[in-house]
Amino acid sequence: MSQNYNLISKLKLIDKGILFMLLSALISALNGAVAKILSETMDPIEIVFYRNFLGVIIILFSLKKIPVSIDKSKLHLLFLRGVFGSLAMLLFFYTIATIPLGEAVVLNKTSPFFVTIIAYYLMKETININTFLALVIGFIGIIFIMKPFGLIISYEHILGVLGGFFAAAAYATIRKIKNIYDARIIMLSFMGIGMIIPLILFLFTPYVEFTIHSDPLLWLLIVFMAIISTASQWFLTRAYSLSKASIIGVVSYTNIPFAVGFGVMLGDLFPDTYTLLGITFIILGGIIVSKKSVKSE
């Protein structure tokens, strides 16, 4: 009886983690679409700064209403989560501004592969046959979407994959501190450092320019992006806190079809047969790992 109860408890826990990841993926794709629109008139690093600035205000307001204590024993991991997450965001926003939205998201989706590798080597998480099969199916799906046979690997593509690696490092760090810090504290470290890095680049390099924008619609989009980005980060943080990194990493592939859909709305061509086939493989991989992994644990 107790074994059945434990199994049901695990199933509910994983289901909730998957649901949170699906919500995070949808909102993240919407966030990418808004960033794509903003990048037409703003520097990507400037967008990152404003997005995190408003996000910090939202989190601080939440902490004022419901305060939490901060454990000082793992501050270095909290700092690393912020650095990795900020670098991932900077690279992702840059690729959004320089290459098509769907392609930028696909490159960022290399992160689940890195997550699984990091989780295996650093956190000793096991990779069962179902997780491995799902990763292979997801990888095949990415190949169909990218159609790399005629792809010219550019500087932007390399930065996109590097962004995926930093995102994976950030996600893996969450696993180390999920039971130590409140999700809002983890998000605050990410957004706070995500403000500091753009400011450093602005003050000490000639490559970043901040301008004063008078268009109210532009600021409304920035505020909207900050709100949905904060919501997406909260869902993502909770997802990785509730379920195994390898499982949530595969489910996060659903971000790709969401992004493709928003890309079509913004004027991208409707996905061809290969892209649709790739989306199917990616979703199939997520279904396999979410249904089978519980039985093997």
In a domain, 26, yes or no: yes
Structural domain span for residue 74: 16-296
pLDDT confidence of residue 87: 93
Q: Does residue 3 lie within any of the structural domains? A: no
pLDDT tens digit sequence for 281-291: 877 776 665 55
Please spell the DSSP secondary structure of the chain, one letter per residue: -HHHHHHHHHHHHHHHHHHHHHHHHHHHHHHHHHHHHHTTTS-HHHHHHHHHHHHHHHHHHHHHHS-----STTHHHHHHHHHHHHHHHHHHHHHHHHS-HHHHHHHHTTHHHHHHHHHHHHS-----HHHHHHHHHHHHHHHHHH-GGG----HHHHHHHHHHHHHHHHHHHHHHHTTTS-HHHHHHHHHHHHHHHHHHHHHH-SS--------HHHHHHHHHHHHHHHHHHHHHHHHHHHS-HHHHHHHGGGHHHHHHHHHHHTTPPPP-HHHHHHHHHHHHHHHHHHHHHHHH-
pTM for the structure as a whole:
0.76
User: How many Å apart are CA 55 and CA 31, to the nearest integer?
Assistant: 13
* Residues 241, 177: Cα–Cα separation, whole Å: 9
224 within some domain: yes
Q: Is residue 50 part of a domain?
A: yes
Tens of each residue's pLDDT in the chain, 297 residues: 555 556 555 555 556 888 888 899 899 899 889 988 888 888 888 888 988 888 899 889 888 888 888 888 788 888 999 999 999 999 999 988 887 787 788 778 777 667 777 777 766 667 777 777 877 887 787 677 666 655 555 677 778 888 988 988 887 888 788 778 888 888 898 889 999 999 898 888 777 777 777 788 888 998 898 888 878 878 887 887 777 766 776 777 778 888 888 888 887 777 778 777 877 887 777 666 555 444 444
CB contact set of 81 (below 8 Å; sequence gap of 6+): 170, 173, 174, 177, 186, 189, 190
Closest CA to 143 of 109, 118, 117: 109
Number of domains the chain contains: 1
Instruction: State the Rg of the chain over Cα.
Output: 19
- What is the spatial distance between Cα 168 and Cα 60, in angstroms, rounded to a whole number? 26
Tokens of 237: 């943080």
What pLDDT is attached to residue 293?
44
Alpha-carbon gap, residue 156 to 74, rounded angstroms: 34
Domain annotation covers residue 167: yes
CA nearest 192: which of 27, 53, 6, 18? 53
Q: What's the pLDDT at 295?
A: 44
